[in-house]
Amino acid sequence: MRKSTLFLPLFSLMMLSGEDWAEAQQKTANYDESKIVPYELPKLLVTREGTEINSAEDWTNVRRPEVLALFQEHVFGRTPGNWGKVSFETKEVKKDALGGKATRKLIHISLPEHPNWAGMDVMIYQPNNVSGPVPCFVGPSFGGNHAVSTEPDVPLSTRWMRPSKEKGIVDNRATEASRGNESSRWPLEMILGQGFAVATYYYGDVEPDHADGWKEGLRAALSKDGANTEWKNGDWGAIGAWSWGLSRIADYLETDPDIDAQKLAVIGHSRLGKTSLWTGAQDPRFSVVISNNSGEGGAAIMRRNFGETTAIITKSFPHWFTKTYSSYANNEAACPIDKHMLIALQAPRPVYIASAVEDQWADPKGEFLSGLNAEPVYALFGKKGYGVKEQPAIDHPLGDSIAYHIRTGKHDVTSYDWEQYLRFAKRHFGK
């Protein structure tokens, strides 16, 4: 009888989904700075052969390709290049959206040579009170286009979604109750009012976010073995696929005369903040990169083992990363990268890192430290970073080409965050 009593909780834990298991770990994770074991970060400005990097040219031509390859091999995997032609189909142009304040476009992006992938639906809002091409924020949503907008005529997504009765997701499908449930994270009128466009897509269009989601997503469609693919070390994960989707939006925006494709800012929150950083690392067309509460696997220093850890994230969400990443669970010191190197891959472009004080799971201090330790690369380009060595007070944003804030509140995207991002983008875009 005693054995059965002990077995039941263990069995219940085994039955938890990755999402639920990760949430359960939050109660026992380390949130004590004094318990962080001393660590040494991998050197940014020393090549594999031991040569020191002293110029922007040598960073760009020698060290940066090495660092990018390390992230491909050990964290996110390599993005394949075999997708062929990309098709853009304009589904809608509504010139009186948001009460006449905006033009809304719905663009379907597909791969004619890979019909097993159903494609992705991109929603664009651009301001009507601005003449000429406008800069654009580009980012994925968790809930679909209909969740970003409150407009009743935005089509409901028909794709698989993570279950959430609170958000109106029933049997893994969106319902009318889910309309607008992400609108607070995308304050469209605020963004449009500052002269920016917004381009977004549902990340599940590219790959549903569960362990077997790849079988009905882009990764299977591009693999010669389809849903029978056996992923190996160095093969791409879901974050790589979601990032691919953002780059295809950039492809489209380069063809849209209403958008200034030289002024694209990529943005993402949480797992999609990790996606934003990986997109910026791979695609230089995004001239501003924004990470909102990206945490472990994103901006946070993995060697700190504070809040979410490599062991937790790779057990909860192994499909996000290349297989190699899980080998660093409880073995972070063996990993040849840390996340200051991911921030450095954005250089010399402006990058904004944002934390929330109640989001200790994402390790706000670790996020801050990544930006701080990326400063030597930015200095090679004559760019400035934070201008301070210590994490700032709550709600006191700081920085130049590398910027940071930790705000009041929880793991989320708020109007306060957007106020900082808009100010940051306007400064660097020269608006």
Maximum distance among all alpha carbons in the chain? 75
Residues 6+ apart with CB under 8 A from 243: 76, 79, 275, 278, 279, 282, 283
155 to each of 111, 165, 214, 306, how far by Cα in Å? 22, 20, 24, 41
Distance CA 355, CA 358 (A): 9
Distance CA 228, CA 341 (A): 34
Q: What is the DSSP string of 20-80?
A: HHHHHHTTTS---GGGPPP--PPPTTB-TTSPBP-SHHHIIIIIHHHHHHHHIIIII-BPP
Distance CA 94, CA 210 (A): 34
The values of phi and psi at residue 260, to 5°, are -85, 95
Burial class (CB in 10 A: 0-12, 13-18, 19+), 31: exposed
Which tokens in the block code for residue 425? 């983008």
User: CA Rg, the chain, in Å?
Assistant: 21
Distance CA 214, CA 109 (A): 18
The values of phi and psi at residue 22, to 5°, are -60, -40
Distance CA 146, CA 180 (A): 6
Task: Say how many residues make up the chain.
Answer: 431
Distance CA 74, CA 53 (A): 22
Element (H, E) at 226: none
Q: Which 3 state secondary structure label does DSSP give 278?
A: helix
Is the distance from CB of 312 to CB of 25 less than 8 angstroms?
yes
Which sign, positive or negative, has the C-alpha torsion 93, 195, 133, 251? negative
Which residues participate in catalysis according to the annotation? 270, 411
Between β-strands 259-269 and 134-141, what pairing exists: parallel, antiparallel or unpaired?
Answer: parallel
